[in-house]
Amino acid sequence: LAPYSGCAMAEYFMFNKGHSLIVYDDLTKQANAYREMSLLLRRPPGREAYPGDVFYLHSRLLERASKLNDELGAGSMTALPVIETQGGDVSAYIPTNVISITDGQIFLESDLFNSGQKPAINVGLSVSRVGGSAQIKAMKKVAGTLKLDLAQYRELAAFSQFSSDLDAETKASLDRGVRMMELLKQGVYSPVSVEKQICVIYAGSKGYLDKLEVDKIKKFENDLYNSLEDEKTILESISIEKVLSETSEKKLISLIEKILEMYK
């Protein structure tokens, strides 16, 4: 009952012209409790012993999240359901049910977390149905192939553990992948503006950091952020125009090369 009570509270703000965010942590335990209760009531079990209406259990909850039109006050409620997977299996009953209802999912992996990659997002299994429609043009341009590149890097990294004889192209892909993963690490309570994200992803994806030692990547990132604060025209241009103009790109390249000179 707790998720429904929380949802009713969030709806109160939505219907009173406010904006609310409700996090269900987690719906797997709710489904398990519902299963146990249904079995005690001798209701016929289905897949994984869940009752037949377990999909409706979650759909009627998550579909209450919405954005009201102006006539109804323009309020909104955003739902963020959390699901626990067993051994990373997203094809289990409850994960597939919730995935089919939501607008996408972020898959967090314990192996990545234990290796120091935070946030520990598996880019291969994480999906957004909104996709690039929510991104500005500058981000689309610099990060267009980032997800594919990172997924390819993980495959190559797994393959390289069983083979010591790697060609130059594979080694280059692995080296860049390591640096991109390092760039994407983020500290707790350390939000980064979209404009700064674009600049740092540009530096990594264009190969400017391929020769830089991995342990210096975070220092480079901090130096770049500080330099961008001094050279505000680049960030302002991206913020206003929503694109990385030719002039801003030249300034950014000059800034990156200037910082890299300090490490030689």
Please identify which of the residues 35, 47, 64, 129 carries the catalytic annotation: 129
CA-nearest of 45, 46, 51 to 31 is 51
Catalytic-residue membership of 47? no
Residue 59 CB neighbours (<10 A): 15
d(Cα 163, Cα 168) in Å, to the nearest integer? 14
- Per the structure block, which two tokens stand in for 155? 């495959």
CA-nearest of 254, 155, 143, 251 to 208 is 254
d(Cα 113, Cα 179) in Å, to the nearest integer? 17
Say if CB 23 and CB 80 are below 8 A apart: yes
Say if CB 20 and CB 14 are below 8 A apart: yes
Q: Which residues contact 227 (CB under 8 A, 6 or more apart)?
A: 255, 258, 259
Spell 87-98 as b/e; 16+ CB within 10 A means b.
Answer: eeeeebebbebb
Query: Which residues are the active-site residues?
Result: 129
